Structure formats: C-alpha cells, structure tokens
Amino acid sequence: MAYAAKPDFEQNLTDFRSGRFTQLRPGQLQVLAAYAEQHLDTPDLAIEMPTGEGKTLLALLIADHALTRGWSVAYLAGTRQLAERVEEEAEALGLDVVRFASKDYGGAKLDDFHQAQAVGVMNYWVYFNSRPVPQPADLVIFDDAHLAEQPLSGLQTLRIPDIPGPARQLYQTICELVAAHTD
C-alpha cells in the first residue's frame, strides 16, 4: 500500500512538545530521512545502531507515523522490564500506548490497539504465545530482535523423545524422512 506523504519526523517530534525528547541526534536524523525517502512501504526492515544512540525514539516516531496511516502497531520487547521501559519512553514522548502483560488485555486497551489509536507494547511471549493472542498488527517493531528466538522457536519446534515404545518408532521414522530428503 503506497503512501504519498513523506513524514517530517523532526516536526513530528516538535509537535509532541515533550520535555524529555526535544531534538533528534544527527544519526537519528540520518536514519529517519532514509526511512522517509526509501522505506515507507518496505515490508521488512532492520535498523541497527550502537547501544545508546536512541533506537527506541526512532521506533516510537516510526510507530507514530504508522498510526497516522491508520495502521495498528505492536512494539515487541524482549522482556517485561524492557516493555515497561518502552512504555515509559513513549509516555515521556507523548505517544499513546497500551501495554499488555500476561492476561492484562482489558477491552478498551485491546480496542485502542486494534483500531490504531495507540501502540500496543508487550514482550514477545505475549504477542506470540498468550491466549487470547492479539490480532496481528499492520506494523510489528522488534526491539532487540535476537531476544525473539526463544518464544518463536517454540512455535516451530516439534519435540519427539527418543524413548522406547511408539515415541521411538515415530522418532526413527521422522529421522529417516529427513535423511531421505536432505543432502
């Protein structure tokens, strides 16, 4: 879905009137300019910057822009504590967020998230493994994406114990199938 208007992230930051976030650093400006010029509709994008360079603020400004497009946004953090930190930074910025933890899904919070009225902030476990699972967001931000491996690998892993009985027979059959279809 192509989008014509390019965001002015510097102006957007100013419009928030945040006492904590008043200006963007040169590296942040460079990344956001490249995003606005070349990647507004890029389906998968990774932004790498050194620790302490303000990636969270970048992600929150991109999330804010997605909300203005009517997109629902899920901001995923590696732990509950990191999700709390993201929530605190978003609130300091002035961005509307709702944080989901465990079974804390209140109806109004979930509605705000699904209707692109607020960024849904949660850890990976909540987004991928909780019941009920939040509806997939239009934009998913993976903060510290390497921390997603554990909750995601469980969704794609079939464990068959190599123990006597039917389990061993199933295990051996699957091993034979894998060996027959791989190099």
Q: Where do the domains of the chain lie, and which CATH numbers do they carry?
A: 9-143 (3.40.50.300), 147-183 (no CATH)
pTM, 2 dp: 0.80
Cis ω before 132 (30° cut-off from 0): yes
Give the rounded percent of residues in the chain with a pLDDT score beyond 70. Answer: 87
The pair of structure tokens assigned to 154 is: 């469980």
Q: Cβ neighbours of residue 86 under 8 Å, at least 6 residues apart?
A: 56, 60, 75, 77, 97, 121, 143
Both tokens of residue 62? 């991109």
Neighbours of 96 (CB within 10 A): 13
* pLDDT tens, residue by residue, 98-122: 999 876 666 788 889 999 999 999 9
